[in-house]
Amino acid sequence: MAIEVPDVRESFSQAIYTVTLGATPQEGGTRERTVTVGGERALPFHHFDGEIPHPPVVAMEVWDIPPQDWPPVVRTPFQDVLDDPGRWAAKCVEEYGADLICLRLVGCDPNGANRSPEEAVQAVRRVLEAVKVPLIIWGCGAPDKDNDVFPAVAEAAQGENCLLGTITEDNYKTLTALATAYGHKVIAESPVDINIAKQVNILAMDAGFPLEGLVMYPSTAALGYGLEYVYTIMERTRIAGLRGDKLMAMPMLVDVGREAWGVKEARAPKEEQPQWGDERVRGPFWEAATAYTYLLAGADILIMRHPEAVRATKLTIGKLMGEGA
C-alpha cells in the first residue's frame, strides 16, 4: 500500500521587494550590466518552499583615501592601487570578481582628512569611469558632513541608479530627497532593532520615498562578536516580510568586511598569537565564515574586503543556489 506523504512545504503570502542597481546606456546610465536582488518567496535557499530568483551578491569595498587601519593581510592584495580608487575598483572587478563596488567616502570625515564635496565627486567619477558594474556610495558616517557631501555626489552620479547610504531614524530627509531627485536607491540603517528598522522605513515612506527603493541594513557583527543576535533580527525581519508586512519586505545588506577585520581574532599577527595560526589564512576564513552565516540569515548584498574571502563566499553562493548540481 502506498504511503501518502504530507506536503510540508511552507508558503508565504508576499515576495521580498525586487531592487535593481545600476543603469545601462539604454536606461540612461553607463553600466554594462545591472544587479538585481530580492524577489524571494521563501526563506534563504529554501528552494523547495518557493522561488528564489536572484542570488545574493558581493560588493567589494574601495575607499576614497588609502586606509591606514587595515592590517597588512588585507592591504597586500591592493598595495599597488590603494592611492587610486579607480584602479582599486578595477582590480576588484577584473581580478577578484566583485559584482558591485562599494565606494566608502571615508576621506570626507571631518575628524579625519575632511575632504570636500568636490573631492568626493572626483572619487565617484573616477570609479564610475574605471568600472562598469553598479556602485554603492557610502558616506563618512558624520551626518552633517554627509548632508553636505551627498548633494554633489548624488548629482554627479545621476542616471547611474546607485545605492546611497545611509539613512537613519534621525537623519533621512536629505538623502531620500536626493535619491528621489537623481534616481538612486537608499540604504536604511538601524541599530540591531527590528522596531527601529521598521520606523526608518516608515519615515522614508512618509518623506515620499518608495519602499521598493530601499535596502535594509540592520547593522553587522563579526563572527564571535554578537553575530547570533544580528542573525535573529535579520531572520525575524525576513519572516515578517514574507508573511505580508510590506514595511519589512526589503532586501538586506550586511557590512561584513569592516566588522570581520575589526576583531583581533582575524587581524592579530601570528607573532602575537602563535596558537591561532597564520593570519593570512585565519583572517580571510574569519571574514568568509561571517559572510556564510549572514547568507543563511537572509543577506542579499554582502560588502567584503579580502579577495580570498570573496572567492570562497561567491563559490558558496553558487552551491547554495544549485549551480553545478
What CATH number corresponds to the domain at position 269?
Answer: 3.20.20.20
Q: The cell 567589494 sits on which residue?
A: 60
Whether 7 is in a domain gets the answer: no
The model scores a pTM over 0.85 = yes
Whether 241 is in a domain gets the answer: yes
Whether 8 is in a domain gets the answer: no
CB–CB of 121/107 below 8 Å? no
For the chain, residues with pLDDT lower than 50 are none
Whether 216 is in a domain gets the answer: yes
Looking at the 3D structure of the chain, how many domains does it have?
1
Residue 51, φ and ψ in degrees, nearest 5: -75, 140
* Residue ranges making up the domain that contains 106: 19-320
Whether 5 is in a domain gets the answer: no
Q: The cell 554603492 sits on which residue?
A: 136
The secondary structure of residue 48, as a DSSP letter, is T
> Which residues lie across from 20 on neighbouring strands?
36
CA 271 vs. chain centroid, Å, equals 33
How much is the pLDDT for 237?
A: 98
* First CA to last CA distance, the chain: 33
CB–CB of 304/58 below 8 Å? yes
Whether 11 is in a domain gets the answer: no
CB–CB of 216/237 below 8 Å? yes
Residue type for position 268: A
Whether 212 is in a domain gets the answer: yes
**What is the chain's alpha carbon radius of gyration, rounded to the nearest angstrom?**
20
Whether 9 is in a domain gets the answer: no
How much is the pLDDT for 10?
A: 81
Residues whose CB is less than 8 angstroms from the CB of residue 235 and which lie 6 or more positions away in sequence, other chains included: 297, 298
For helices 117-130 and 143-156, what crossing angle results, to 10°?
A: 50
